[in-house]
Chain A
Amino acid sequence: MALNEEQQAQLLRHLNGELSPTEAADVAQLLKEDAEARDFLRGVAEQAVVVADVERLAQHREPAKVVSPVFNPAKWAVAAAIILVFVGSFLFTILSANKGHTAEVVAIHGPNQHLAADGVTQPELAPGTMLKIGDKLRTLSSRSWVKLKLNGGSYVMVTGRSSLRLIRDETHRAFLLRYGNLWATINTPEGTKPFSVLTETARINTSNAQFDIETKFQEISVVSVDQGSVTTERLSDGSRVEVAEDHQTIISMSQRRSLIAKRQPEPVNQWNCKMLSSPEAVFGKWLAPDENNRVRLNATPLLIGKNKTIYATNFSVRSSGSPPVMIENGSRFRIRLTTQTADPVYVGITTKKHRGGFFGKYTEKLEGDQLGQAGKARTIEIPVSDFVPLDKSLSPTAVGTELTDIWLVAPKESAELEIHKVEFVAREVAQ
């Protein structure tokens, strides 16, 4: 039976989520019984993804505009020189405005994935790869990072589990951060466009700044500025705030609170994850309490490459609303966990420079004998001096930096890793 226009509109309303439960039930019945309705719905879905694909490709294409100045040097030497300068700068402006920006991959660590604008999926990026408008990169694991060099001596780094795409913007070098963490050091010398990042909740623009963005659950963006200043715009209502050096703002979809920038608080030297009562456990699956443990965050499978799955939990110190947490000599991590096997567990941390950008990632391997009896919860203390850098280029110690996140990973599913408590404990001061 051919669908009429009203039925088609009703299907579209259903996709838009605006039908009452009764109307939705009617649509569900129609879809179960009518192949024509399903055919229409499949058509809509195919068209939706292809429209998005075509638009991405359209952004990827660079319009070719070449304008040739005409002049007579013999007759109009002086005037021509002026015109030449004028046309030259005009041409430069036109071309730089139309030419899409690029980003060169200069460093990578850990698993990542590259989706070119034409849809070709590459398993890994390599240093030297040039990303163009429409290209997307994803860093797949807590231990991953990719550093990009932009023109004008600017650098952007994505870390942890993040998704970043180069997008077209006539007036900015623009990126879309769908989720994850981005660190940027931006310069805008003459002839270079300013920099812009779009998240699910905010648009962040700057010409000169060192700052970072952390997104949480694609609903909140936290912008912290260490040098220079950035302008943030809340997408839900268009409100804006200038975030100056040493300031921070939190942008959510909710308009209940006005958008303000606050000075970053003075650093502390300890942190206690509130676990169930707060959103800082950003990765993992909550399990129901059992007789031994009220709080149980189960490591979640994370596919990080060919034949490689790890089981991970992740805790964001910065998302907890805590002041910056300084890592000092003698500091230690106190973690209560359970594993079902003697297989090793890795503890990792991400650090940033105090009032500065990304510093590095460090890890410590906990062997079976440190993990205690299988199936029994155990509290483990790990001195910060036990952590080693994930990359040779990093400083051998994280002391003197700020702690931004902590992750725990079991390479094997059978470990059934559960985390009950995570603390960062200050060094003990002698009385």
Chain B
Amino acid sequence: MGQRDRISAAAWLVVRDAHIAEDIFQNVALKAMAKEVTFDSDGALMSWAFITARREGIDWLRRQKNAPVNLDETILELLEAEWANESLGQAGSRSQALRDCLSELPAKSRELLKLRYFDGQRCEEVAASLGTKLDAVYKRLSRLHQGLKGCIETKLNQAAS
């Protein structure tokens, strides 16, 4: 689960669409099954998976007319390296903690995240859907993301102690 989330997240940073990112993860899984070579370590496998997901994402972007502005490849590489440095076990725990934290969110916050990331609405559309200002959407999203990050850390610390 943790690996899937991280590879999908890396793809999401390229394509900014959770459904496309999921498609890309599926393609990576299919390619991994199809590959005849074996990897020396989990790290090597993850590194291959991140690069493959990024390439798939960039290919997808090239086929789109209104593609999002891409992040610099050097930044994507830095992000992937940091993901790869996390242990697989840690990734699994983080993933579960995030799910637990999401389930504890108030309905309004869940709705905001759903509109933005599941329905794939742009922030302007989210603002229109909720009848609020664009700045307020960014502010709420920032706080939500920061809050979820804090919640995950608290849960991981509790589990460790």
Residue positions of A touching B, CB distance < 8 A: 5, 8-9, 12-19, 24, 28, 31-32, 35, 38-56, 113, 115, 119, 121, 123, 138, 163, 178, 217-219, 303, 305-309
Cβ contacts under 8 Å, A46 to chain B = 5-6, 9, 94-95, 98
With contact pairs A9-B139, A54-B99, A219-B65 given, residues A45 and B148 touching in the complex (Cβ less than 8 Å): no
With contact pairs A8-B146, A46-B6 given, residues A306 and B72 touching in the complex (Cβ less than 8 Å): no
> Contact mask B71-108 → A, CB, 8 Å, 1/0?
11011001100110000000000110011001100000
Q: Name the one of A13, A39, A43, A305 contacting B138, with C-beta atoms under 8 angstroms.
A: A13
Closest chain-A Cβ to B17's Cβ sits at a distance in Å of 9
Closest chain-A Cβ to B62's Cβ sits at a distance in Å of 10
Cβ contacts under 8 Å, B68 to chain A = 15, 17
Q: Is B51 an interface residue (CB 8 A)?
A: no
Closest chain-B Cβ to A313's Cβ sits at a distance in Å of 15
- A32/B78 in contact, CB under 8 A: yes
Once bound together, how far apart are the Cα atoms of A228 and B135, in whole Å?
47
Q: Which residue of B lies closest to A165 (CB)?
A: B19
Q: Name the one of A8, A44, A54, A303 contacting B34, with C-beta atoms under 8 angstroms.
A: A303
Q: Which residue of B lies closest to A13 (CB)?
A: B138
- B79/A41 in contact, CB under 8 A: yes
Once bound together, how far apart are the Cα atoms of A376 and B34, in whole Å?
33
Q: Is B113 an interface residue (CB 8 A)?
A: yes
- B9/A217 in contact, CB under 8 A: no
Q: Which residue of A lies closest to B149 (CB)?
A: A43
Closest chain-B Cβ to A13's Cβ sits at a distance in Å of 7
Q: Which residue of A lies closest to B81 (CB)?
A: A38
Cβ contacts under 8 Å, A43 to chain B = 145, 148-149
Tell me whether chain B's interface is mostly helix, strand or loop, or mixed: helix
A-B pairs with beta carbons under 8 Å apart, 28 shown: A8-B145, A13-B123, A16-B123, A18-B123, A42-B82, A42-B83, A43-B149, A45-B9, A46-B5, A46-B6, A49-B12, A49-B22, A50-B98, A50-B99, A50-B102, A51-B18, A51-B116, A54-B99, A55-B114, A115-B26, A121-B29, A163-B23, A178-B19, A218-B64, A303-B30, A303-B31, A303-B34, A306-B33
Q: Name the one of B12, B27, B31, B79 contacting A48, with C-beta atoms under 8 angstroms.
A: B12
Count contacts on B: residues with CB < 8 A to the other chain: 59
Q: Is B155 an interface residue (CB 8 A)?
A: no
With contact pairs A47-B113, A113-B30, A219-B65 given, residues A5 and B143 touching in the complex (Cβ less than 8 Å): yes
Which 7 pairs across A and B sit closest by C-beta, in order of nearness? A52-B18, A45-B9, A55-B118, A8-B142, A9-B138, A49-B8, A48-B117
- B16/A15 in contact, CB under 8 A: yes
Once bound together, how far apart are the Cα atoms of A5 and B23, in whole Å?
32
Q: A42-B9, A47-B148, A163-B23 are in contact. List 16 more A-B contacts (CB 8 A).
A: A12-B142, A12-B145, A24-B69, A31-B71, A38-B79, A43-B149, A47-B98, A48-B12, A49-B22, A52-B117, A53-B22, A54-B99, A115-B22, A119-B1, A303-B30, A303-B34
Q: Which residue of B lies closest to A163 (CB)?
A: B23
Once bound together, how far apart are the Cα atoms of A283 and B63, in whole Å?
11
- B138/A51 in contact, CB under 8 A: no
- B78/A38 in contact, CB under 8 A: yes
- A121/B26 in contact, CB under 8 A: yes
Cβ contacts under 8 Å, A50 to chain B = 5, 95, 98-99, 102
Once bound together, how far apart are the Cα atoms of A18 and B36, in whole Å?
43
Give the most central of A9, A303, A308: most B CB within 10 Å: A9
Give the most central of A5, A17, A123: most B CB within 10 Å: A17
Closest chain-B Cβ to A162's Cβ sits at a distance in Å of 12
- B21/A49 in contact, CB under 8 A: yes
- B122/A16 in contact, CB under 8 A: yes
Closest chain-B Cβ to A424's Cβ sits at a distance in Å of 26
Q: Name the one of B1, B27, B34, B102 contacting A51, with C-beta atoms under 8 angstroms.
A: B102
Cβ contacts under 8 Å, A54 to chain B = 99, 102-103
Cβ contacts under 8 Å, A51 to chain B = 18, 102, 113-114, 116-118
Q: Is B141 an interface residue (CB 8 A)?
A: yes
Cβ contacts under 8 Å, A163 to chain B = 23
Closest chain-B Cβ to A238's Cβ sits at a distance in Å of 13
Closest chain-B Cβ to A368's Cβ sits at a distance in Å of 27
Cβ contacts under 8 Å, A18 to chain B = 123
Q: Is B156 an interface residue (CB 8 A)?
A: no
Identify which of residues 109-143 in chain B touch chain A, using a CB-to-CB cut-off of 8 Å: 113-114, 116-118, 122-123, 135, 138-139, 141-143
Closest chain-B Cβ to A269's Cβ sits at a distance in Å of 33
Once bound together, how far apart are the Cα atoms of A52 and B115, in whole Å?
10
Closest chain-A Cβ to B6's Cβ sits at a distance in Å of 7
- A31/B75 in contact, CB under 8 A: yes
Once bound together, how far apart are the Cα atoms of A16 and B4, in whole Å?
24
Cβ contacts under 8 Å, A31 to chain B = 71-72, 75, 78
- A32/B75 in contact, CB under 8 A: yes
Closest chain-B Cβ to A116's Cβ sits at a distance in Å of 11
Cβ contacts under 8 Å, A178 to chain B = 19, 23
Q: Name the one of B5, B12, B65, B142 contacting A9, with C-beta atoms under 8 angstroms.
A: B142
Once bound together, how far apart are the Cα atoms of A18 and B71, in whole Å?
13
Cβ contacts under 8 Å, A123 to chain B = 30, 33
Cβ contacts under 8 Å, B123 to chain A = 12-13, 16, 18
Once bound together, how far apart are the Cα atoms of A50 and B139, in whole Å?
21
